[in-house]
Chain A
Amino acid sequence: MVSAKFTDQTPELSHDRDEIGSLVEAVDLCHDLAEKLGAEGFTLLFAAAQGDARRLVPLFDETFPGISSLTRALTGPDTANFGRQVSTTTCPMWWRAKGAASFLDASARVWSIEAVPPVTGSSIIIFPVSSDGRRNGAIVFAGNDMSIDEDTLCEAHAACFEIFAQVAQLRKQDGNTQRPMSKRELECLRLTANGLTSDEIATALGLSVHTANQYLTNSTQKLNAVNRIHAVAKALRCGMIA
């Protein structure tokens, strides 16, 4: 009995350790990136959907596990507009503090836009990111001694996507964390998304209609969705089907 209890616990413990480990790794990657850009601080933000509105939620910054003043400024109560802007924009956004030097060279400025973020103490560059799960967010770098050219801008932005995908994986609350989806269930979901009815799916996959429906019911439950359409939407949004 004792050994059974131990084996029950071990996976959970190692999972937690992995999770914290990966988060620390992501923080380290951000530190490296900040150094490359000449930034003093950074913060990683998630856009949380509230109906049609977006609010930015911090995950970590350079003071991890603390919260920096930059993070506080960008996620304060009056930041809904900024949240919306971040989650609908692709290009990097910059803001220059009063008296600070311009930190983007001419070619980098071609690709980026000037933003009006909530007031922060130093110049910032905002890299809007999203993960395959269509979760939006941003990684923001701050400092008055940053220096960024075109190549650095593009490379840093791609790196931000990589880091964000990694942490989004950890925060995946929908679906995946519970029972894994079977190949057949995913196939049925994919065909539903392509507009096929249960009858047509059954024919396409050589199943009975009853079986096709069963696969769809299972996947709906596994995704914690209320109906089929909801399941399709969830699966698409978290990248289980393309």
Chain B
Amino acid sequence: MTYAATLVESRTATAPVTSRTGLARFMRRICSEIGAQRYMLVQPSVERGPKSVSIITSNWIFDALEDLGSEGIARILESGIAAGAGMRSRALLAAGASFLTTEDRRALRDHGHIETHCRRLVADGTTVYALFSSETSGEIDGDALSRIHMKCCYALVQFFAATGGRASADPLSERERECLMWVSEGKTTDEVALILGVSSNTVNSYIAHAIQKFGASNRAMAIATAIRSGII
């Protein structure tokens, strides 16, 4: 086998994803499999507060990122348009997406994101969104998109396991998480105190810490953030 052939071989063979470079290589291969040019793996950022996102890896050009901004990306993630495993996805601009502002649409269109699909990936309880775009409408293969969905989830599990990225996605202590879980089940502070065998002041302080860590404005938002990011 020639050196070039070995290179091609190693590029097409399935290998565990253990680094950011590996993840980017994996995503490029996925893109060519489904007919997309641009990809982005992105998470709502619980630490940085509402409307902020943290991008794990992407091959978007800088201008496109700047024009859409983290707020624009957050609007896409929060809109509920993302398709889960086993679901068909609708293209962003074609779906008459009313959650996008005129500027968002222009940013996407100007930078060649004509057909964009958003998939909601779950990797061991952590939610990550994948955006796939093509420069021409109708180029992305819908069947292939649902086929590669789980593969992307597996790759993320491996990536998080290898890089310890999941730890930062869950900033709560075990006690704080427990308190939020019970509050989300409709328990009052006093009831949670009884269940956990601590005082209600302690429960309130756990919850206050969780609210602070999420940059949330109140309990309801902290609960919602925790559920959305799969912590509870």
- Residues of chain A touching chain B, judged by Cβ–Cβ distance below 8 Å, are 52, 88-91, 106-107, 110-112, 129-130, 132, 134, 150-151, 153-155, 157-165, 192-197, 225-230, 232-233, 236-237, 241-242
When the two chains form their complex, are residues B15 and A110 in contact, meaning their CB atoms are under 8 A apart? yes
When the two chains form their complex, are residues A230 and B147 in contact, meaning their CB atoms are under 8 A apart? no
When the two chains form their complex, are residues B150 and A158 in contact, meaning their CB atoms are under 8 A apart? yes
> When A88-B124, A107-B14, A193-B220 are in contact, do A242 and B181 touch as well, CB less than 8 Å?
no
When the two chains form their complex, are residues A161 and B86 in contact, meaning their CB atoms are under 8 A apart? yes
Number of interface residues of B (CB under 8 A): 44
A sample of 9 cross-chain residue pairs with beta-carbon separation below 8 angstroms, ordered by A number, consists of A89-B124, A107-B13, A129-B85, A159-B86, A193-B221, A227-B186, A229-B186, A237-B227, A242-B80
When the two chains form their complex, are residues A230 and B184 in contact, meaning their CB atoms are under 8 A apart? yes
Q: A161-B84, A195-B216, A228-B220 are in contact. List 13 more A-B contacts (CB 8 A).
A: A52-B178, A52-B181, A90-B154, A107-B13, A150-B151, A161-B150, A192-B220, A193-B224, A195-B220, A227-B188, A229-B219, A236-B224, A242-B80
When the two chains form their complex, are residues B124 and A229 in contact, meaning their CB atoms are under 8 A apart? no
When the two chains form their complex, are residues A130 and B227 in contact, meaning their CB atoms are under 8 A apart? no
Q: How far is the CA of A35 from the CA of B146 in the complex (A)?
A: 21
When the two chains form their complex, are residues B122 and A197 in contact, meaning their CB atoms are under 8 A apart? no
Q: How far is the CA of A111 from the CA of B161 in the complex (A)?
A: 13
Q: Within the complex, what minimum Cβ distance (angstroms) separates A83 from chain B?
A: 15
Q: Within the complex, what minimum Cβ distance (angstroms) separates B13 from chain A?
A: 7
Contacts between the two chains (Cβ within 8 Å), count = 115
Q: Which residues of B contact A194 (CB under 8 A)?
A: 50, 78, 221, 224
Name the residue on A nearest B178 (C-beta).
Answer: A52
B19 at the interface (CB under 8 A from A): no
When the two chains form their complex, are residues A195 and B13 in contact, meaning their CB atoms are under 8 A apart? no
Q: Mark B216-229, 1 if CB is under 8 A from A, else 0.
A: 11111101100110
B157 at the interface (CB under 8 A from A): yes
Cβ 8 A contact of B122, one of A130, A151, A164: A130
Q: Which residues of A contact B165 (CB under 8 A)?
A: none
> When A194-B50, A195-B217, A230-B185 are in contact, do A111 and B151 touch as well, CB less than 8 Å?
yes
Name the residue on A nearest B121 (C-beta).
Answer: A90
> When A110-B14, A157-B85, A195-B50 are in contact, do A90 and B153 touch as well, CB less than 8 Å?
yes
